A and B are shown apart, each in its own frame.
Chain A
Amino acid sequence: MTAERLPAAQTPDEEETLPGRRGGLDFLGTLTIAWRAILGSPLRSVLTALGVIIGVAAVIALTAIGSGSTAGITKSLESLGTNLLTVQSGAPRFGGGGLVRGGPQQTITMKDVEAIGTFAPNRIAGVAPSSQSNVQAKVGSSNLQATVIGTWPAYETVRNSPVATGSFFTQDDVDGRKRVAVVGYQIVTDLFDGQDPVGQKIRLGNVSFTIVGTLPDKGNTGFGNPNAQVLVPLSTFQQRLSRGARSGTSVTVSNVYVQATDKDDLTNLQNDLTDLLARQHRIEDASSYDFNVQNQADALASLNATTQTLTLLVGAIAGISLVVGGIGIMNIMLVSVTERTREIGVRKALGAKPRDILTQFLVEASLLSVGGGLVGLALGVGCAYLGTLVNITPVFSPATILVAFAFSALVGIFFGYYPASRAARLDPVDSLRYE
């Protein structure tokens, strides 16, 4: 009897009871079905996932560039000197003001500088008043626009700016108003073809200076160009180069850098210096101060606060784009369910349960969004490295990457659920007849 060999009618005694039957569709099978559907229309799948791709890429790239530039700024802030207080002209500003130069009117006088210098010698490691102006630097026929800073020898330690070759100018140079200069890296490369210029002459404005030292390459940290700096004695600067900045009868400076001996004393010293200058300027009301004392730690803190706000904003934008991407997925999945109504009908006729169909479409949507997340991840990392073109080294945070990725997967499940449940609820009779 051939019925044994061939798929013929079962005899009743060899049959199991229906509900006890093992099985249903296994996960691998579901995955294969979904994968085939995605590969079946590659262009549409890419377009569907595009929202998620862009969303994830945006989060990863923007946060990496954001933290990269924060790290860069933090590093350059710290390289400006440690335990640093900066006394500037202008009313105090709160939040982020430390990066901006003082107001137009210079109010810090040399008398203030003296007062600071004698105020608390054991708490202060160094004082370096400074004034600056943009001057043409000339050697032979070549020239460039240099930032000439008049200051004291303490600048070397207070601003963490040691020389690369030669030596810093001395207190004698300041006292004698000598025309000596320490030049930045770009002066060496552009005006001396990279040769050590110590002992050579350089014209700053109309005044000839002798170069006694050079500064190392400080890179372009985003605060003007420190490589185009020329440091000269403050006294020489005031006599020969400044445009006679004065307050009353007293000569003024742009700012005064003060290095505290002890890091923990920084805030107290900041308050004490503020009180001192208030007495010097005879101002009692804090709201009418014409100077301010910036603390490096404050600047860092406000920078961090700014960065955090930015990160939040980026996160919000990315979240929105992921939601939009999810709606894109839902949209296409709805179209796809309608288009594949017949397929759904056939599958149901062949034994697919509503659950099987639900899982199939849900897995398809999730695969799309997870795939989109992966592509977005790669794209985001690639885009972040574009930041190196503007000297920002991207910093990737595993947490951000993980969250962006997990979120994209969730988006697929969330927005895939409605189309999938619609597919699952389709009536087999209607869907088989669907043209």
Chain B
Amino acid sequence: MSDLVLSLRAVEKTYLTGDVEFQALRGVDLDVRAGEMLALMGPSGSGKTTLMQIIGLLDRPTEGTYLLGGRDVTDLTENERAEARNREIGFVFQAFHLLPRLDLLENVEVPLTYAGIPAYERRERALEMLDRVGLASKARNLPSQISGGQKQRVAVARALAGRPRLLLADEPTGNLDTRTSEEIMALFTELNGEGTTVVIVTHEPDIAEYTRRVVRVRDGLVESDTTHTPRAGVRT
């Protein structure tokens, strides 16, 4: 039980728009063990984005319980959720979301800053992470000076800088071409091989081929939960 990174039980989410209720999730059960890499798939409107937001502690479920690393995080306050996001979850977004005015090193430092880590240690750890994704030489460049694939690598470095329990990637290859997508997926595979738990939200079947486990969501429910032999990532 203790190796469960996340565990959702009967999670429901209902949005209220004006007087219209919309049930995005209708009772999702999902367990992810430490060291797993899985793809969360589903067409648009399936509820996969809502599920991602709940897993990422950006939103809270209307019903059900959510255990993150064995701790019940269903009813955390806003501040507690901010802390948990900072400490437990590393986000990778489709649009990279690097802060344009900060250089790459400073971007990687952002989560460490909010964790209250002293400047010197922050710098060292951020540089280490940039080195891990092969971009240490560009540490002082601005995001506008590097390619999309490189931006996503920096985003991965930023996501992992705080040593989170879970790497949560939302359509991480959505803005990348095929070759760069393959490189990023290879990076995820590599990181997973080193022990990082990775959840990738995607609607592209190509991407899901990289993960051993694929969870399909449709109409707010888990439609299928399958495992297969993943495609080997391209070496970078």
Contact of B163 among A7, A23, A345, A428 (CB under 8 A): A7
B35 / chain A contacts, CB cutoff of 8 Å: 9
Residue interface mask B78-106, A partner, CB < 8 A = 1:
11101111110001010001010110000
Q: Does B69 sit within 8 A of A, measured CB to CB?
A: yes
State how many angstroms separate the Cβ of A430 from the closest Cβ of chain B.
10
- B59/A429 in contact, CB under 8 A: yes
Known: A18-B84, A18-B87, A36-B101. A7 touches B93 (CB 8 A): no
- A346/B71 in contact, CB under 8 A: no
B59 / chain A contacts, CB cutoff of 8 Å: 429
Known: A2-B194, A9-B165. A356 touches B85 (CB 8 A): no
Complex CA–CA separation, A1 to B102 (angstroms): 34
Complex CA–CA separation, A167 to B36 (angstroms): 111
- B2/A12 in contact, CB under 8 A: yes
Q: Does B196 sit within 8 A of A, measured CB to CB?
A: yes
Q: Does B197 sit within 8 A of A, measured CB to CB?
A: yes
Q: Does B175 sit within 8 A of A, measured CB to CB?
A: no
- Which residues 52-79 of B have a CB within 8 angstroms of A? 53, 56, 58-59, 69-71, 78-79
In the complex, identify which listed stretch (A24-32, A63-71, A84-92, A310-318) lies at the interface while the others stay far away.
A24-32
State how many angstroms separate the Cβ of A27 from the closest Cβ of chain B.
11
Q: Does B136 sit within 8 A of A, measured CB to CB?
A: no
B164 / chain A contacts, CB cutoff of 8 Å: 7
Q: Does A353 sit within 8 A of B, measured CB to CB?
A: yes
Complex CA–CA separation, A2 to B160 (angstroms): 15
Complex CA–CA separation, A124 to B117 (angstroms): 83
A12 / chain B contacts, CB cutoff of 8 Å: 2, 69-70
- Which residues 332-349 of A have a CB within 8 angstroms of B? 342-343, 345-349
Chain A contact residues (Cβ within 8 angstroms of B): what range?
A: 35 or more
B197 / chain A contacts, CB cutoff of 8 Å: 9
- B196/A7 in contact, CB under 8 A: yes
In the complex, identify which listed stretch (B38-46, B107-115, B220-228) lies at the interface while the others stay far away.
B107-115
Residue of B nearest to A40 (CB): B101
- A353/B99 in contact, CB under 8 A: no
- A25/B113 in contact, CB under 8 A: yes
- B58/A9 in contact, CB under 8 A: no
- A21/B165 in contact, CB under 8 A: no
- Which residues 42-82 of A have a CB within 8 angstroms of B? none
Q: Does A243 sit within 8 A of B, measured CB to CB?
A: no
- B97/A346 in contact, CB under 8 A: yes
Complex CA–CA separation, A3 to B80 (angstroms): 27
Q: Does A22 sit within 8 A of B, measured CB to CB?
A: yes
Residue interface mask B189-229, A partner, CB < 8 A = 1:
00100111100000000000000000000000000000000
B119 / chain A contacts, CB cutoff of 8 Å: 28-29
- B79/A355 in contact, CB under 8 A: yes
- B78/A349 in contact, CB under 8 A: no
Q: Does B129 sit within 8 A of A, measured CB to CB?
A: yes
Q: Does B158 sit within 8 A of A, measured CB to CB?
A: yes
Q: Does B162 sit within 8 A of A, measured CB to CB?
A: yes
Contact of B99 among A343, A348, A354, A355 (CB under 8 A): A343
State how many angstroms separate the Cβ of B170 from the closest Cβ of chain A.
9
A-B contact count (CB 8 A): 119
A356 / chain B contacts, CB cutoff of 8 Å: 82, 114
Q: Does B123 sit within 8 A of A, measured CB to CB?
A: no
A100 / chain B contacts, CB cutoff of 8 Å: none
Complex CA–CA separation, A22 to B160 (angstroms): 20
- A21/B87 in contact, CB under 8 A: yes
State how many angstroms separate the Cβ of B214 from the closest Cβ of chain A.
20
Q: Does B116 sit within 8 A of A, measured CB to CB?
A: yes
Q: Does A10 sit within 8 A of B, measured CB to CB?
A: yes
Q: Does B34 sit within 8 A of A, measured CB to CB?
A: yes
Interface centre among A15, A29, A356 (most CB of B within 10 A): A29
Contact of A349 among B91, B161, B194 (CB under 8 A): B91
A399 / chain B contacts, CB cutoff of 8 Å: none
- A428/B58 in contact, CB under 8 A: yes
B58 / chain A contacts, CB cutoff of 8 Å: 349, 428-429, 432
- A6/B56 in contact, CB under 8 A: no
B69 / chain A contacts, CB cutoff of 8 Å: 10, 12, 15
Residue interface mask B11-31, A partner, CB < 8 A = 1:
000000000000000000000
- A2/B195 in contact, CB under 8 A: yes
A3 / chain B contacts, CB cutoff of 8 Å: 194-195
- A26/B116 in contact, CB under 8 A: yes
- A347/B116 in contact, CB under 8 A: no
- B116/A23 in contact, CB under 8 A: yes
- B116/A8 in contact, CB under 8 A: no
Contact of A9 among B34, B70, B91, B116 (CB under 8 A): B34
Q: Does B138 sit within 8 A of A, measured CB to CB?
A: no
Complex CA–CA separation, A352 to B197 (angstroms): 23
Contact of A23 among B91, B117, B191, B195 (CB under 8 A): B117
- Which residues 170-201 of A have a CB within 8 angstroms of B? none
Q: Does A350 sit within 8 A of B, measured CB to CB?
A: yes
Residue of A nearest to B90 (CB): A7
Interface centre among B70, B119, B195 (most CB of A within 10 A): B195
Task: Kindly list 17 other residue pairs between chains A and B, CB separation below 8 angstroms, not including A2-B194, A15-B69, A25-B113.
Answer: A2-B195, A6-B194, A6-B195, A7-B160, A7-B162, A7-B163, A8-B163, A9-B196, A12-B2, A18-B83, A26-B116, A28-B119, A343-B99, A349-B97, A350-B111, A351-B86, A429-B53
For this complex, 20 residue pairs linking A to B, each with C-beta atoms less than 8 Å apart, are: A6-B194, A7-B160, A7-B196, A9-B166, A10-B165, A12-B2, A12-B70, A21-B87, A26-B116, A36-B101, A36-B102, A37-B101, A346-B97, A348-B85, A349-B58, A349-B97, A351-B86, A354-B78, A354-B79, A429-B59
Measured CB to CB, the residues of B under 8 A from A are 2, 5, 34-35, 53, 56, 58-59, 69-71, 78-80, 82-87, 91, 93, 97, 99, 101-102, 110-111, 113-117, 119, 129, 132, 158, 160-166, 191, 194-197
